[in-house]
Amino acid sequence: MKKFIIFFFFHLCSFSQNNMGILFEEKLTWEQVISKAQKENKYIFVDLYTTWCGPCKELDKGAFASEKAGDYFSKNLISYKLQMDKTKIDSENIKSLYASADFFANTYTINMYPTLMLFNTKGEYVHRIAGGGNTTDEQLIEQIKMGLNTETQSFTMKKRYENDERTAEFLRIYANYLVLAAIDNKLALTVCSDYLKTQANWTADENKLFMYYSAWKPKSEAFNYVKTHKSDFDEYFTKNYAMSVNDMILLVTKQECFDEALNPETKILDTEKLEKNLSQYFSAEIIKPMVLKVKINQNERKEKVDSQFVEWVDDFLPSVKFGVDKELNYYAWLVYEKTDNKKDLKKALLWALESVKLSSESHNNDTVAHLIYKIGEDLPLAKMYAERTIELADKKGSDTADIKSLLKKINERL
């Protein structure tokens, strides 16, 4: 009976491990992970994530939780998971790995999350892996296999390309990798263009991914070809990207209008020229919010916003369809920071109050409290919103130092 219990226990442990998906090292420093990789002679798979990243969480529940991925990764890799942001509620273990996270942030180009990377047994970076919430376990494993093959590692392929290797097969593999990895858009476009030059039939199914990607460049040969061969690409674009060829043409045309209105030296858009360019293709109803957004974006970079800023924002906000509460709060806070004009501050207060009405959160209550205090006409009301901010922030474990400082100032003046 005892032997049976022991056998059952080990069988259960084995079964649990196989169904846990990828088992990540989450308590070791980067140096300790490299040491372990050297001892086991395995490459290192690194998942860089943040607490606020939606696709990261989807990946955890999807491909990372797969039994198939778990089996493959445990046999071939040391898997390492590292939190890249810092929060008030971080555990002592997470805090102990801040230095490792800082090393990655300062050493490598991390421009999106999740960022998935592959390192050799020496801890040398060799491959970047494309991954998001909708990545399947099979897609993830195929990309790992690509990274384990020294001939198809991103580092190796870049060297092969720099050494003028231009065979159609190599260009196809490298272009496909660059498109999926979304690391270097300029290089991806160049390699796609080089690959397409080797192809006689651009409408072939195996080339449509590269045509779709390349056609996003205004005035490019690929864009003009897609534009004159709509029927050959429409079904593929719609099925794979939920976008018709006509939708793409409009978006690329819009980008072209923006590019032509951009001053290459100052990097500032000429809004009059932009409006003139857009009027050739779009209605006044569509153009108005686009131009207003440009004026707003360019103005908000200044230390102090122009007198027309609030008027532009007020005209633009009705065109916002998604995340209205966040947009209202964002612009209300900008006005708080970048003007002392009481009339403008009162308009910003109305935006912030509307934001709270739509979704009462610590950040927009905080904005209301700051604006009322700066206007200086109703300190008891400012106190009420400051206290509400602290209450909401405490529930989420958010930092309250700034709002407590404001509350102290309010109390001193009451």
Angle at which helix 98-107 crosses helix 30-40, to 10 degrees, equals 80
**What pLDDT is stored for residue 182 in this prediction?**
75
**What pLDDT is stored for residue 134 in this prediction?**
65
Task: Count the Cβ atoms, other than its own, within 10 Å of residue 101.
Answer: 19
**CATH number of this structure's domain 21-148:** 3.40.30.10
Instruction: List the beta bridge partners of residue 224.
Output: none
**What pLDDT is stored for residue 219 in this prediction?**
85
In SS3 terms, the chain reads as: CHHHHHHHHHHHHHHHHHCCCCCCECCCCHHHHHHHHHHHCCEEEEEEECCCCHHHHHHHHCHHHCHHHHHHHHHHEEEEEEECCCCCCCCHHHHHCHHHHHHHHHHCCCCCCCEEEEECCCCCEEEEECCCCCCCHHHHHHHHHHHHCCCCCHHHHHHHHHCCCCCHHHHHHHHHHHHHHCCCHHHHHHHHHHHHCCCCCCCCHHHHHHHHHHCCCCCCHHHHHHHHCHHHHHHHHHHHHCCCHHHHHHHHHHHHHHHHHECCCCCCECHHHHHHHHCCCCCHHHHHHHHHHHHHHHHCCCCCCCCCHHHHHHHHHHHCCCCHHHHHHHHHHHHHHHCCCHHHHHHHHHHHHHHHHHCCCHHHHHHHHHHHHHHCCCHHHHHHHHHHHHHHHHHHCCCCHHHHHHHHHHHHHC
What's the start-to-end Cα distance of the chain, in Å? 77
243-286 per-position pLDDT tens digit: 999 999 989 999 999 999 999 999 899 999 999 999 998 999 99
**What pLDDT is stored for residue 133 in this prediction?**
58
Say if pTM beats, i.e. exceeds, 0.75. no
* Superfamily (CATH H level) for 300-413: Tetratricopeptide repeat domain (1.25.40.10)
What φ, ψ does residue 78 adopt, rounded to 5°?
-95, 120
Domain with CATH 1.25.40.10 in the chain: 300-413
Divide the 414 residues of the chain into consecutive groups of 10 and give the mean pLDDT of each group. Answer: 43 44 92 95 95 90 92 95 91 93 91 90 88 77 90 90 95 90 85 95 94 91 94 93 91 92 92 93 92 94 92 95 94 96 96 96 96 96 96 91 95 92
Domain with CATH 3.40.30.10 in the chain: 21-148
**What pLDDT is stored for residue 94 in this prediction?**
93
**What pLDDT is stored for residue 10 in this prediction?**
41
